[in-house]
């Protein structure tokens, strides 16, 4: 059973190191992803179970990812960092 998104500690903005992709995980179980200057390039719902995340895009595709600690997200071949995290 998936954990309630209201209880997960991963809510917030996740950004690639170059800032090109910005993905916001919203408390209502929705996400909004910006690609470059294209706002809301991908939107849909998500669920977190432990450190694993499942995505269901509004266009019909699915994806998943895994959190590493509190500040790194592996998703779609990219590394995302919690906004405000210093990237080495």
pLDDT digits over 35-70, tens only? Answer: 999 999 999 999 999 999 999 999 999 999 999 999
Q: Does domain 5-82 have CATH number 2.40.128.290?
A: yes
The torsion angles phi and psi of 7, rounded to 5 degrees, stand at -100, -5
- Percent of the chain surpassing pLDDT 70: 91
* Exposure string for 47-59, b = 16+ CB within 10 A, e = fewer: bbeeeebebeeee
> What is the 3 state secondary structure string of 12-34?
EEEEECCCCEEEEECCCCEEEEE
pTM of the model: 0.88
**Three-state secondary structure call for residue 42:** strand
pLDDT for 7: 61
């Amino acid at each position: 059973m998936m954990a309630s998104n209201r209880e997960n500690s991963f809510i917030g903005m996740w950004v690639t190191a170059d800032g090109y992709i910005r993905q916001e995980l919203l408390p209502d179980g929705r996400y909004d992803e910006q690609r470059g200057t294209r706002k809301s390039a991908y939107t849909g719902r998500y669920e977190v179970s432990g450190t694993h995340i499942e995505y269901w895009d509004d266009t019909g595709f699915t994806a998943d990812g895994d959190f590493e600690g509190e500040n790194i997200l592996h998703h779609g071949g990219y590394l995302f960092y919690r906004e405000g995290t210093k990237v080495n």
